[in-house]
Structure 1
Amino acid sequence: MAVYAYQPTGSESEEYHKWYFNTFVWKKTTWMGVNCWKSVADMWNYQEILFELKPSLVIEFGTAHGGSALFFANIMRQIGAPFKVLSVDITHERLEPAARRDPDIVFVESRSTVPAVAEHIQRLKNDFPGKIFAILDSDHTKDNVLAEMKLLRPLLSAGDYLIVEDSTLNGHPVLPGWGPGPYEAIEAYEQEFPDDYTHDVERETKFGWTFAPHGYLIRT
């Protein structure tokens, strides 16, 4: 009966979210010894999505230390189908050797919004045809995220999956003074292209909180 004796107020997940973000525990998280600046709840969601989607191409904008790219490659190898991970960042200064050595990851040092990145994705699509899982976690300004979403628009097909991370910023619910960021980029994109994506709300809310609120998107 103890399970039913306590009923949550609804604020617990938001308070935990604030604690998780503000204590920087996410900066103390590693994957196979490599720094991985993610929510562990989101990472669990991502491996479930990867297993169900079985993409042939994983696209990551925002490499940092390389822990998440390594995570994606490790999961994809367990799935067993041919694949490639493309990870793009404006600098590789923080990229750790253990991630850099992975043979299934292509690391590109570049702005994510330039035409050359779109061309590289298209070449990989030709070599690894199938579903795509993409995640945006680079510059968290509204304009940059919106540009990344628009760059991916002709490259993603029905059923492909897009994660827009750090839409938690600008008061959603952390860092209320951040200014327009990923959350506002999603809103702006959907005003311009209202039929491109459906929201995977069940997945987004599965663990009660996420670093990607409003950002679990399935291409229609």
Structure 2
Amino acid sequence: MDPIKQFSAERMAAIAGYGTDEAFTALSSQWRQMSMDKRYVYNFDWMGRPIIQYPQDIQAMQELVWATKPDLIIETGIAHGGSIVLSASLLAMLDMCDAIEKGVTIDPKVSNRKVIGIDIDIRKHNRKAIEEHPMASRIQLIEGSSIAKDVVDQVQQAAQGYERVMVCLDSMHTHDHVLAELEAYAPLVTSGCYCVVFDTFVEDLPRDFFNDRPWNVGDNPKTAVRAYLADHPEFSVNGEIDGKLLVTVAPEGFLLRA
């Protein structure tokens, strides 16, 4: 067998085995819960900006962007800006690789690839840091509720003309809000690309784990995803991603559009 194919087959076999390894999956769930209690996800930066994600999910995003090569990434939820800087840097990576392959020079300031970041409250110090970041030329910030009609209209207008679009939802994590985001933005995802819904793991944690937040078991991104998928067969959960990450905030949240 070709050694590359052999390595891939061995890796897929190992990942498939995780799903039947009850001790391993239980330990992963236990670690995830304890790590959330200790605010572990707040410990990391991407290119100098705090990114509130597990390293596993950061890696998953890199793999998805490389595999699907989007021109536009739409993200709801900005916080400190680490996630949109991550997305912008991954798009810069695609441009660099295109330039090497074609033997040309690409001016990053005129690249077509960009990120649209939406947040109801972009704090002044975070906006300043993002706008002064080396990736700023690839980022468009929109302040307002991600489900407000004027914001949705603005994003839909900005998305016109892009051939490959990816969406990441990571703002308010209640069922109704996420379902409204899915209705607004998932249709913008192009065939072969992803809508990634973060914090679906709320459904798998003990009730009232986030006792200072409006989301809970039965009212969270995972319940919204399940409701959306029931009426939208063009999307499906890529369970292989869940299966290899094990520790992720987005179980059942990696939605591939056919």
TM-score, normalised via structure 2 length: 0.76
Report the CA distance between 1:189 and its aligned residue.
1.2
Gapped regions of structure 2 (runs ≥ 5): 1-20, 99-111, 209-215
- State the distance in 2 between where 1:42 and 1:86 align: 20
- State the distance in 2 between where 1:61 and 1:157 align: 18
More deviation in 139-148 or 152-161?
Answer: 152-161
The Cα offsets for residues 187-218 of structure 1, whole Å up to 9 and x where unpaired, read as 11123x14131111111221222100111001
Q: For the Cα contact (< 8 Å) 1:157–1:219, is it kept in 2?
A: yes
Question: 1:37 aligns to what?
Answer: 52
Matched residue SS, 1:91: coil
- State the distance in 2 between where 1:143 and 1:76 align: 31
Report the CA distance between 1:154 and its aligned residue.
3.3
- State the distance in 2 between where 1:115 and 1:24 align: 34
The Cα offsets for residues 34-59 of structure 1, whole Å up to 9 and x where unpaired, read as 11111110010001100111100001
2:242 aligned to 196, 204, 207, which one? 204
2:41 aligned to 26, 30, 40, which one? 26
User: 1:136 is aligned with what amino acid?
Assistant: L
Q: For the Cα contact (< 8 Å) 2:166–2:190, is it kept in 1?
A: no
Question: 2:149 aligns to what?
Answer: 115
Question: 1:150 aligns to what?
Answer: 183
Report the CA distance between 1:20 and its aligned residue.
2.0
User: 2:117 is aligned with what amino acid?
Assistant: S
Give % identity: 27
Where does structure 1 differ by over 4 angstroms across 4 or more consecutive aligned residues?
Answer: none
Q: For the Cα contact (< 8 Å) 1:83–1:104, is it kept in 2?
A: yes
- State the distance in 1 between where 2:182 and 2:158 align: 18
Q: For the Cα contact (< 8 Å) 1:34–1:96, is it kept in 2?
A: no
Asked if 1:13 is matched to 2:52, the reply is no
Matched residue SS, 2:116: strand
Q: For the Cα contact (< 8 Å) 2:186–2:195, is it kept in 1?
A: no
Q: For the Cα contact (< 8 Å) 1:35–1:66, is it kept in 2?
A: yes
Asked if 1:135 is matched to 2:150, the reply is no
Matched residue SS, 2:121: coil
User: 1:152 is aligned with what amino acid?
Assistant: Y
Q: For the Cα contact (< 8 Å) 1:61–1:87, is it kept in 2?
A: yes
Q: For the Cα contact (< 8 Å) 2:237–2:256, is it kept in 1?
A: yes
- State the distance in 2 between where 1:106 and 1:87 align: 6
Q: For the Cα contact (< 8 Å) 1:100–1:107, is it kept in 2?
A: no
Gapped regions of structure 1 (runs ≥ 5): 1-6
Report the CA distance between 1:156 and its aligned residue.
2.5
CA 32–157 in structure 1, closer or farther in 2 if over 3 Å, else same: closer
- State the distance in 2 between where 1:57 and 1:112 align: 17
The Cα offsets for residues 141-177 of structure 1, whole Å up to 9 and x where unpaired, read as 000000000012432332221011001113x1x2522
- State the distance in 2 between where 1:135 and 1:142 align: 16
2:223 aligned to 150, 170, 184, which one? 184
Question: 1:90 aligns to what?
Answer: 120
1:65 aligned to 80, 83, 97, which one? 80
- State the distance in 2 between where 1:175 and 1:74 align: 35
Report the CA distance between 1:8 and its aligned residue.
6.9
CA 175–96 in structure 1, closer or farther in 2 if over 3 Å, else same: farther
TM-score, normalised via structure 1 length: 0.89
Q: For the Cα contact (< 8 Å) 1:161–1:217, is it kept in 2?
A: yes
- State the distance in 2 between where 1:45 and 1:212 align: 10
Name the structure where helix makes up a greater proportion of residues: 2
